[in-house]
Structure 1
Amino acid sequence: MAPLLSYSILDGIISNSLIQLCRDLRILVEERRISIAELADTLAHNENVEVFGSGTAAIVSPIASIQIDGVEYRPYTGDKALTYRLKNELEEIRRGRKPDTHG
């Protein structure tokens, strides 16, 4: 799930590339509004929820802790996190070690 583009969630090459990588890996991508309440509920009731930020400088940065209304949530950042796979795939393409099949 990815938040819709807005004044604070910008369209960009990194986010577009990550969405394309997910689609290439047959990972369902759903772009829609996500409320803070939904995020908190999802983090509270699911073990392997991953959260990451992306952008030109950060590329892909896992988020290890989120505090909402005084409650601290710890998204999954373990060795098998998809976040790392996406980050590595994108890095391999950026460095020319894997072909860029989308130009």
Structure 2
Amino acid sequence: MAFELVIDNQSDTVYRPAQLSFVATVDGTTTDQVIDTTQGYSGVMGTDDEVLPSQTLRFSVAFGVHEQPCAVRVAVRPESAAASAIPIFDGTI
């Protein structure tokens, strides 16, 4: 399962996407992010990109899921030390 995400930096400071962390579960069990650069899923870990104020950055992330229908939840933390994650998907696929 893949998502295209957009970081829209409306702050006055540079944002580094490498600060992002994702939390994903499939049927309540944690699943890993898929890194497959040939498919365009490079993730954000280790990226050297910076999002300048008033700029945007698009990227794709993917997660491993079952072939049969399953409950999926994906959330993101803007900074890995953030106390809570922001849900970006919660549904059945």
TM-score (structure 2 length as normaliser): 0.25
Q: Which structure is higher in strand share?
A: 2
Name the structure, 1 or 2, with higher relative contact order (CA <8 Å, separation 6+).
2
TM-score (structure 1 length as normaliser): 0.24
